[in-house]
Amino acid sequence: MKKSILFSLRSPYREQLDVYGYTFGHGRKTLAIVGAMRGNEVQQMYVCSRLVREMKKTEAAGKIADDCEIMIIPCVNYYSMNIGKRFWAMDNTDINRMFPGYDQGETTQRIADGLFRNLQGYEYGIQFASFYQQGNFLPHVKLMDTGFTDSELMKDFGLRYGIIRRPRPYDTTTLNYNWQIWETKAFSVYANATDTIDEDSADEVFYAVLRFMKNRDIADTKVQPGFSTDLINESETHQVQSEKAGIFTSAVDIGKYAETGDILGRITDPFDGEIISEIRSPISGTVYFEYQNPLINENTVCFKIIKG
């Protein structure tokens, strides 16, 4: 294992920001894995730390394929992480909306530039991403359909679902999109929790990445086969929104199948406790996202369902 500083940033008020990369194997740039890019992505950093420990053992056992290099970056934005902020602490900007970066630009643009220079040239790229919505969701892998990669590769993770989505204009400044433009086969892996650690979903995505390495002949890892992945287009999912504001209670677990008309959740009046809205499934399908906060506003996405 080689631990190196990929990018450094001096600060007049705090210690220097050093972004570390852990490199295993040698030769062709094969796989890069990026963990926490935002300050609340504790679960994403945790999964990366487990992969670093596992790759130490794998390398020591001589089970990384010849002419294959693996790099893992557990955390980029620990400046924000250690004060509990999601975005860059100084100006509240998002590093993952600054790619490919600019070395003469704003702070987060310079961080994105320094990071991206080290990530270019890898055959495969995996980012442990987090949802912009607070809630629970099934671990899954997602591919941004830019036309530069093969959706069938998502099956090598062995997760239950692989979701293909069309990029929107604001996606063009994300790591995943720019990785693909620079000819890296890039995937986003979602591990349910963000600012807490969920061991079950951490296990699921940890083994999914090891499974990908094994199926791509990158590293000989011991791992179970996993699911036969269903590849679906994001247009095949349906969002369910709340009709009222109040106290939200879910009545269904993620991963469960709901029939049309089934009750998914309830909203009660915060003052008198009366049920003011029953959230029913408009279609039949698998619930893969549920809103998590106890308080909910009107027209908030509270469930996402995969049709079928």
26: pLDDT confidence band, cut at 50, 70 and 90?
very high
Same domain, 141 and 274: no
Domain that includes residue 248, residue range: 236-307
Same domain, 223 and 240: no
4: pLDDT confidence band, cut at 50, 70 and 90?
very high
Closest CA to 138 of 257, 279, 266, 290: 290
How many whole angstroms separate alpha carbon 268 and alpha carbon 300?
15
Q: In this predicted structure, what is the pLDDT of residue 308?
A: 80
Closest CA to 303 of 241, 259, 234, 244: 241
> Which tokens is 41 given?
């992505």
112: pLDDT confidence band, cut at 50, 70 and 90?
very high
Q: Is 173 helix (H, G, I), strand (E, B) or coil?
A: helix
Same domain, 157 and 253: no
Distance of CA 255 to the CA centre of its chain: 18
How many whole angstroms separate alpha carbon 36 and alpha carbon 197?
13
Given a contact cutoff of 8 angstroms between Cβ atoms, the answer to whether 217 and 142 are in contact is no
> Which tokens is 128 given?
């442990």
Is residue 166 predicted with pLDDT exceeding 80? yes
Same domain, 278 and 210: no
How many whole angstroms separate alpha carbon 145 and alpha carbon 177?
9
Same domain, 245 and 112: no
Same domain, 265 and 163: no
Stretch 283-302: mean pLDDT, rounded? 95
Burial 290-305 (b: 16+ CB within 10 A, else e): bbeeeebeeebebbbb
Is residue 134 predicted with pLDDT exceeding 90? no
Is residue 83 predicted with pLDDT exceeding 90? no
Strand partners for 5: 20
| pTM, to two decimals | 0.94
**Mean pLDDT over each residue of the chain, to the nearest integer:** 94
Domain count, the chain: 2
Is residue 269 predicted with pLDDT exceeding 80? yes
Q: Which one has a higher pLDDT value, 99 or 83?
A: 99
Q: Is 88 helix (H, G, I), strand (E, B) or coil?
A: coil
Q: In this predicted structure, what is the pLDDT of residue 200?
A: 94
Q: Of 86-90, 148-152, 279-283, give the range with the top mean pLDDT.
A: 279-283
Stretch 279-298: mean pLDDT, rounded? 95
Same domain, 300 and 221: no
In this structure, of 20-24, 49-53, 168-172, the range with the lowest mean pLDDT score is: 168-172
| Paired sense of beta strands 257-258 and 285-291, if any | antiparallel
